[in-house]
């Protein structure tokens, strides 16, 4: 799900459409915007969340944390960016053992990854200080840094002097469940059958054309794209993924001050939330 930080990405303004839809400019989101590429606003997760909150978008592919921390959203059932094991693009890079980490510099693009890391470290009794990462270029010199998305992949392929702790794998080892990183969040006031169908149909088209989409995307090499988009990432939001979300919610309530909202799902075919 990158140019890649909130400071460097210019939001792309699409042509005027009936629905205002946003997505992340990351490789892992490509299959979920198939057929909508020229109509979608591209921005990092944190920017998309702000645009949803300020009613600049009707729906957006956002970090799962957004509808968990804020009321007024429904989640499109059946569609997600998830992994059931290594995710290859969300990890803690560290030069020191986990138990020795004092400070983690965190990519500001996604609150989900930050809170997932907090949960995983807390399970080990670790509570380091978290600071925002100032720039990707300086990440290589830091002892411990949390990176996500395309910048994380680029960093790992530079063979840095860090150990890479894949958070998807760590979550699966802790819980035995998949982790859901992103979902289609729709402002409750804008839930319409045509919008839900548009988002659902984009996923179906993306799955049908997955091999072609992977082959033609210029980012990274073909072998990596196949192992990443074609294997590490999956795009379903079924009962097992929902159990992963519920477990994440339970863990967050032990760590986060303030309300955590239970996710509410809406099906494209029925326009009914549950």
Each residue's pLDDT expressed in tens, for the chain with a length of 274 residues: 433 333 333 334 444 348 999 999 999 999 999 999 999 999 988 899 999 999 999 999 999 999 999 999 999 999 999 999 999 999 999 999 999 999 999 998 878 999 999 999 999 999 999 999 988 888 999 999 999 999 999 999 999 999 999 999 999 999 999 999 999 999 998 899 999 999 999 999 999 999 999 999 999 999 999 999 989 999 999 999 999 999 999 999 999 888 999 999 999 975 455 5
Is the same domain home to 143 and 195? Answer: no
> Tokens 């957004």 belong to which residue?
66
Give domain status of residue 14, yes or no.
Answer: no
CATH number for the domain harbouring residue 220: 3.40.190.10
The range of the structural domain enclosing residue 187 comes to 21-82+178-266
What residues have CB less than 8 Å from 80, skipping those under 6 apart? 64, 180, 181, 182, 183, 235, 236, 237, 241
Q: Are residues 118 and 254 in the same domain?
A: no
**pLDDT, tens digit, for every residue of 76-105?**
999 999 999 999 999 999 999 999 999 999
| Last residue within a domain, chosen from 175, 197, 220 | 175
Determine, yes or no, domain membership for 56: yes
* CA-angle at 40, arms to 139 and 28, nearest 5°: 45
Question: Token digits for 242?
Answer: 């929902």
Clarify whether residues 171 and 188 are in a common domain.
no
Q: Is there a domain that residue 8 lies in?
A: no
pTM of the full structure = 0.90
Task: Report yes or no on 16 lying in a domain.
Answer: no
Whether residue 135 sits in one domain with residue 107: yes
């Amino acid at each position: 799900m990158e140019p890649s930080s909130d400071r460097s990405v210019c939001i792309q303004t699409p042509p005027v459409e009936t629905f205002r839809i946003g997505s992340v400019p990351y490789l892992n989101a490509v299959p979920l915007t198939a057929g909508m590429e020229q109509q979608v606003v591209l921005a990092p997760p944190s920017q998309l969340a702000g645009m949803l909150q300020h009613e600049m978008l009707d729906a957006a592919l956002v970090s799962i944390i957004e509808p968990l921390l804020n009321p007024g959203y429904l989640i499109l059932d059946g569609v997600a960016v998830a992994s059931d094991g290594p995710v290859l693009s969300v990890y803690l890079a560290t030069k020191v053992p986990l138990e020795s980490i004092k400070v983690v510099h965190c990519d500001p693009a996604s609150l989900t990854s930050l809170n997932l890391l907090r949960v995983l470290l807390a399970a080990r009794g670790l509570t380091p200080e978290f600071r925002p990462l100032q720039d990707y270029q300086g990440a290589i010199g830091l002892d411990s840094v949390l990176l996500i998305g395309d910048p994380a992949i680029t960093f790992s392929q530079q063979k840095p002097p860090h150990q890479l702790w894949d958070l998807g794998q760590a979550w699966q080892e802790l819980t035995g469940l998949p982790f859901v990183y992103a979902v289609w969040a729709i402002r409750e006031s804008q839930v319409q059958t045509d919008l839900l169908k548009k988002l659902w149909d984009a996923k179906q088209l993306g799955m049908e054309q997955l091999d072609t989409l992977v082959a033609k995307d210029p980012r990274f090499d073909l072998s990596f794209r196949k192992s990443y988009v074609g294997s590490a990432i999956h795009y379903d939001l079924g009962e097992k993924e929902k159990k992963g979300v519920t477990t994440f919610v339970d863990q967050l309530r032990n760590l986060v001050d303030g309300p955590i909202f239970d996710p509410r799902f809406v099906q494209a075919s029925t326009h009914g939330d549950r």
